[in-house]
Structure 1
Amino acid sequence: MITPRFSCNQTDTSVTVRMYCPSVRASDVEINVDETLFTIHINPYFLRLNFPGRILEDDKSSAQYDPSSGYLTVSLTKEVKGEEFKDLDLLAKLLAPRPSKDQPSQPMIEVLDSESTSDDGEEDLVNRTNQLNLDSEQQTILEAAENDWQLPQSVPDPLPALHTSLQKPYGFLDMYTGYFAHVEHTENEVNELGSLADTLSIDQRRKMRLKHEEEKWDEEYYMADFADDSYIRELIAWRHPHALIDAQDPFNYTEEEKAAMLRLPRKEYLATPVQTHNLYLTLLTLLFSYAYDSRTTQQDPTPESAWTICSLTPAFSALDPPPYATSPLPRSPSEFSCAELSAVFTTVYRRALAFGLYRSWKLAEKCRTDVADFLSKGKRLVTRCLLEMKHILDHHEVYYVYSKVWTDDFCVWVQAYASDDVLRDLAERIRALKLDKESTGWDLEESEEAVQGELERDSDSDDESADEVERMAAEPL
């Protein structure tokens, strides 16, 4: 079946679906409505949409086909008049499967704090209860035999997971394997794991990533860009078009963007709270690499753009996504600590300073501001950024693989599962971050002071030369 191009709009009382299906017989159309689910089949096209609210197929509903244009227009009645259906322009969210009603629920009990309470009465009760323990284990067993007590038992520790394959999962929610089995036969210049990419654990990947960053760090390169930063200052002063979009005035996706959404996978993601939390952190690294490339190219991608994006994203080049900081498990998917956000941006800063064409701390800081700007506009703009990144990767003969294992799923997840409130909260937290140069592990301050000292000496030397010339010119011949 073919998924047709389509668009949705609404009024206070109805929802209209307009789909392009040329050269079909209107009499063959089959429409079905089930609460929020709408399906339509007209050979060879099939469309299934899951709306955010209930719809009805009643006497006010209609379907009209225009043979000259090839468009079929279906109007459906809202069950609740005046209800606003949000995100009708996020096509991937509409196409996502409806969550299963039989899906087992997540555990409803969560230990938030292991510290004892400060209530004196409760502490006294616990102490008195503990004093009731019998003096010896032998006496306990004898009395248990006489009175048929049920001795306390505990479940044995589970056995370690049995791995029947050497391959280790990676990618979005660790759903992929085998994509790098023959990577040594491709010209993948960003892969830092070599032929072992499919078999290394996350700890091994991280060690190799850090080692590679240390090898690529070039102090002289950084000092040269710090000394001659006139072009970098121009890049920093450039205003990103996405930052100028008014969050209160939603934009319309282009036809090319809509077509890209229709080609995205149709998946339902059952992520745990911890996985959801980590996906938000990984999203920050993707947006940072996109911001760096779009700023340094002024949103005019070059043949090197795919390499830049992949090299600056640890989840791509080393299959090493966040978190990068050791911290307690989050109480909720939307709770982010300053330490873990700092660790995420310190990691991508290191990548930008070790691999970027322009290696500047100020440029990295500006890219972080761009990420905050994107997030503050909500998931629609974030989706547009991801679609632009996907377009760059999809058109590269090697690096398209990272679009398959990461970007495609992120485009769907952001539309269908990400929260605008969480994204905007992240934006505020990112703007408030204070990162220091020492966190990179490199002596950036010392390098900059060395450059400043050399520039001052050169300036003094030039002044002395100018004074000498003036003195000689003033002497009589």
Structure 2
Amino acid sequence: MITPRFSCSQSEDAVIVTMYCPSVRASDVEISVDDTLFSIHVNPYFLRLNFPHPLRGDEDASASYDAGTGYLTVSLNKETKGQDFKDLDLLAKLLAPRPAEQIPEEPGIEVLASEDAHRDDDSELAERAQQLTLEQREILEAANNDWQLPQETPEPLPPLRTTPEHRYGFLDMHIGYFRHVAHAENEVNELGPDAETMPPAERRKRRLIHEQEKWDDEYYMADFVDDEYIQELLAWASPVAGTTDGHHFTEEENATMLRLPRKEYSTIPQQTHDLYLTLLTLLFSYAYETRTTQQDPTPESAWTLASLTPAFSALDPAPYHALPERSNPASFTETELSATFVASYRRALAFPLFRSFALAERCRADVVDILAGGRRLVTRCLLGMKHVLDHHEVYYVYSKVWVDDYCVWTLAYTRHALFPSLSRKIAGLKIAKSMVGWDLDELESAALEETERQSDSDDESEDEIEQMLPAPL
């Protein structure tokens, strides 16, 4: 079946779905409405949408077909007239499967019946005691003697593994994408042919070692001194600054959302929490690539995006700071947010063309602006990242294992109000240069001293040359 291009709008009483279905027979249209779920089939097209509020039955729906334009328009009456159906432009959210009922985090106890446990009939108690087995009698005798037996909680067993491969990607759902990596020109892959079999702890260790190897203090000092072009990048006005959540997706973005996978993500609170943290690293990479190219992607843009994202280059997602598990996915501490951005800062200072701490700080400010724009702007940035990666013959793999799922998850499963709150927390962070792990302050001081020394030396040379020249007549 083919998913048609479609759009949704609403009036006071109805939701209107417009589909592009050229060369079909209008008499073959089959419409079904089940509470919030709407589906329509007209060979060879099929569309199923899940709306936020209930609709009236399919007998109240109406459809019209314009053979000249190929558009089929379906009007679905609202169960409650005047009710506002939000996010009708988030196509991936409408296409997502109906979410399952939430499983309670703690088991509940339902009392089916109760009775008074007090017994006055000693004979009944004695009769039951006579029916005890030998083992039950020994247990009862031990209880009467108040024996204190040692009680220890056994150590949890490691998860049973039936394959040497370790999963990776969004919610560790993917495997097999790097089995033939040795034959692909994947320059950002830091795990080599071991990408499929390396455990998460070893991936992080390998990433940190590689960052240390790629760190070049002379390169950093040169960019710090000769920063004319970096100053231009810092002054560039990003178009996302001040963007509100009320913009509309382009036709190309809508077409991309229609091609996204239709998945349902069942996550525990800690997984949801970690997904938000990893999302910050993706947005930072996007902000760096966008600012350094001034939103005009180059052939190196896919390499930049993949190199700056730890979850791509080393399959190492957040969290990057050891913290106890939390039950509230919306609670983010300053420590873990700082650790997340430090991981991105290290990448930005060790790999790309422009290596500047000030530039990294400016990219974090761009992330603040993106999050302040809300769910739609975050999704638009992810779609931009996906567009760059999809057009690369090697790095498209990171779009498959990370970005595709992130687009669907952001549209259908994230909390809209959480993004502005997260934006404010990130704006208030104070990331010191010492947190990166390299002696940035010392390097900058040494670079300034060398610049001043060379300047003084040049002045002295000019004075000596003037003294050697003959006096004017």
Q: Same-fold call, TM > 0.5?
A: yes
After TM superposition, give the deviation of residue 56 of structure 1 in Å.
Answer: 1.2
Q: Which amino acid aligns with 2:218?
A: E
1:78 aligns with 2:78: yes
Change (3 A) 1:403 1:141: same
Spell out, residue by residue over 1:298-322, the C-alpha distance to the aligned partner (whole angstroms, 9 max, x if none): 0110010000000000000000000
Q: Within 5 Å, which residues of 2 pair with 1:332-343?
A: 332-343=328-339
- Post-superposition CA distance 1:39-94 (Å, at most 9, x none): 00000000000001111147764210000000000011111122111111110000
Matched, 1:206 2:204: yes
- The 1:336/1:475 distance shift into structure 2, 3 A limit, reads same
The Cα of 1:330 is off from its aligned counterpart by 2.1
Residue number in structure 2 paired with 1:144:
141
Structure 2 partner of 1:317: 313
Is residue 2:441 matched to residue 1:441?
A: no
Kept in 1, the 8 Å contact 2:32–2:58? The answer is no
Distance 2:26 2:183 in 1: 51
In the alignment, the residues of structure 1 paired with residue 52 and residue 340 of structure 2 have an alpha-carbon distance, to the nearest angstrom, of: 34
CA 149–402 in structure 1, closer or farther in 2 if over 3 Å, else same: same
What pairs up with 1:284-299 in 2 under 5 angstroms?
284-299=280-295
- Residue aligning to 1:356: 352
Structure 2 residue identity aligned to 1:314: P
1:301 is paired with a residue whose SS is coil
Give the Cα separation in 1 of the matches to 2:183 and 2:377. 37
Counterpart CA distance in 2 for 1:59 and 1:168 is: 50
| Aligned twin of 1:307 | 303
- Structure 1 CA distance for aligned equivalents of residues 77 and 63 of structure 2: 12
Check whether the contact 1:243–1:373 (CA below 8 A) recurs between aligned residues: yes
Give the alignment's TM-score, normalised by structure 2.
Answer: 0.89
1:195 matched to 2:217:
no
Residue of structure 1 aligned with 2:265, choices 269, 277, 280: 269
Give the 3 Å change call, closer, same or farther, for CA 89–470 of structure 1 in structure 2.
same
Aligned equivalents of 2:289, 2:144: Cα separation in 1: 76
Structure 1 position 246, deviation (Å): 3.0
In structure 1, distance between residues paired with 2:157 and 2:468: 89
Shift of 1:106: 3.4
| Contact persistence 1:144–1:151 (CA under 8 A) | no
**Deviations along 1:408-446, whole A, 9 cap, x unmatched?**
000000000111221111111111110111111111111
Give the share of equivalent positions with the same residue, in percent. 63
Count of aligned pairs between the two proteins: 444
- Asked if the contact 1:4–1:46 (Cα under 8 Å) also holds between the matched residues in 2, the reply is yes
Question: What amino acid maps onto 1:9 in structure 2?
Answer: S
Corresponding residue for 1:245? 243
1:398-477 equivalence runs, <5 A: 398-466=394-462, 475-477=471-473
- Asked if 2 retains the 8 angstrom alpha-carbon contact of 1:144 and 1:150, the reply is no
Deviates more, 1:286-295 or 1:54-63: 54-63
What is the aligned-residue RMSD (CA, Å)?
Answer: 2.3
SS for the counterpart of 2:39 is strand
Report SS of the residue matched to 1:167: coil
Contact in 2 for aligned 1:202/1:320 (Cα 8 Å):
yes
Q: Partner residue of 1:396?
A: 392
Change (3 A) 1:142 1:309: closer
Distance 2:447 2:139 in 1: 82
Give the match's secondary structure for 2:424: helix
Counterpart in the other structure of 1:30:
30
CA distance in 2, matches of 1:308, 1:299: 13
Query: Aligned pair 1:63/2:59, yes or no?
Result: no
